[in-house]
Amino acid sequence: MKLWDKGITIDKKIEGFTVGNDREIDLHIAKYDIQASLAHAKMLETIDIISTEELQQLSEGLHELQSQVTHGTFVIESKFEDVHSKIEFELTQKYGDVGKKIHTARSRNDQVLVALQLFYKDNLNNIKNQTRTLFDTLLELAETHKEALLPGYTHLQVAMPSSFGLWFSAYAELLIDDIYVLDAAVKTVDQNPLGSAAGYGSSFPIDRNFTTQELGFNTLKYNVVAAQMSRGKSERTVSMALGSLSNTLTRFAMDICLYMSQNFDFISFPDALTTGSSIMPHKKNPDVFELIRGKCNKIQALYTEMLLLTNNLPSGYHRDFQLLKEHMITAFEDLKNVLEIFNHSIQQITVKKIDLNDEKYQYLFTVDSINNLVMDGISFREAYQQIGKQVQKGTYSAATSKKHSHIGSIHNLCLDAIRDKFPD
């Protein structure tokens, strides 16, 4: 069944190519299409397009389909082009001509738009909640390990002392920036496109404010052409937000992979969280974090894909938009999975004690040594040159330095502020 069927036989090769894997993808938005269809039916009843009795029938049928979706029994068979044709067929099968009225005053264009925007809005909020959970975990770890020394690096060379508390809370604060971007994406998709039909509105006396309120949108997309043109723009905005969060997670995962290596040996994880080698029995590989790194890098590439698919399209609907759905939906599912496994794994981290007698850390406290001289009354430039000469001559010793004395004060100053900074 096709919503646009006019009795014409379509070439099977053409049909297979144009439908693609929409049936499988549409299972992810079935819940939202049913939700929007119910709101649309209620609106049609308020403007006397359908009767109260007909609304009751459609409502009963849509709730039954929603139950199937919830219990995982909803199926889109091969005879249907997509979820929209499946839903209308089921309503028609059960209620006859009443089921055929559900499509009055809408197009498959705004039907897809509203379902996708409801999906994006719902899942963006889910990701925000998961991000908050990870944020809280990181601040707990920061508090636990605030005094644990972690050598700081610049240019991948030993630089100056830091702490695990600063490391954990640094990524926690970066997550706040990602929440700002996610909030912007939510605001972008929180505009009701239903009622824009094929992109040029409807001659029926529809009440778009009614469906906006019924579906829980903050506002509506007033201009019907703008509503249609939001397809692609919404995907670019959302993919940028997902990419921002993915960038934070992939950098964190890279730190973990680096710090687990024998060359650094700062942290470890239980054997149950690592994998081994088929020929090297000593290996404990951070496969979880390597896969997180790879998945997050894929998600960061999504924005470029969305841009290239839609960059030069004129106003109006184009079938290119069909190609936006699959990878957008996959990105959401991947990122939710990444956040869950990241939070689960990072809670089991073991922070190791750093051996400061190791030769590679002999210059870790040069800045503290300089600062000590400055506090004794020597100018910074003179103190810098004095310590620099000791390093060059091989006579430098950090024994008299107030080792990493600044770390605790920095950490205590920022931890509560970071916690308070997270958006409500």
Residue 400's Cβ-count burial label (10 Å; 0-12, 13-18, 19+) is exposed
What is the model's pTM? 0.91
pLDDT of residue 79: 84
pLDDT of residue 412: 67
Pairing state between β 219-220 and 191-192: parallel
Q: How far apart are CA 112 and CA 110, in angstroms?
A: 5
Cβ-defined contacts of 36-41 (< 8 Å, 24+)? 36/111, 36/114, 36/115, 36/118, 36/194, 36/211, 36/215, 37/62, 37/87, 37/102, 37/111, 38/62, 38/63, 39/194, 39/210, 39/211, 39/214, 39/215, 40/102, 40/105, 40/106, 40/194, 40/211, 41/102
pLDDT of residue 299: 98
For 19-40, the pLDDT digits (tens) are 567 788 899 999 999 999 999 9
pLDDT of residue 407: 63
Distance of CA 49 to the CA centre of its chain: 40
Contact 172, 139 (CB under 8 A): yes
Q: What structural domains does the chain harbor? A: 12-103 (1.10.275.10), 108-149+165-193+222-351 (1.20.200.10), 359-421 (no CATH)
Q: How far apart are CA 359 and CA 254, in angstroms?
A: 25
Q: How many of the other CB atoms lie within 10 Å of CB of 181?
A: 16
Q: What is the residue-level pLDDT of the chain in tens, covering all 424 positions? A: 444 454 556 656 665 665 567 788 899 999 999 999 999 999 999 999 999 999 999 999 999 999 999 999 999 998 888 899 999 999 999 999 999 999 999 999 999 999 999 999 999 999 999 999 999 999 999 999 998 999 999 999 999 999 999 999 999 999 999 999 999 999 999 999 999 999 999 999 999 999 999 999 999 999 999 999 999 999 999 999 999 999 999 999 999 999 999 999 999 998 887 765 556 566 577 899 999 999 999 999 999 999 999 998 999 889 888 899 999 999 999 999 999 999 999 999 999 999 988 999 999 999 999 999 999 999 999 999 999 999 999 999 886 555 445 565 666 668 889 999 999 8
Tell me which residue has tokens 């889109």. Answer: 76
Pairing state between β 350-351 and 157-163: unpaired
pLDDT of residue 424: 82
pLDDT of residue 2: 46
Contact 300, 243 (CB under 8 A): yes
Fill in the amino acid letter for 228: Q
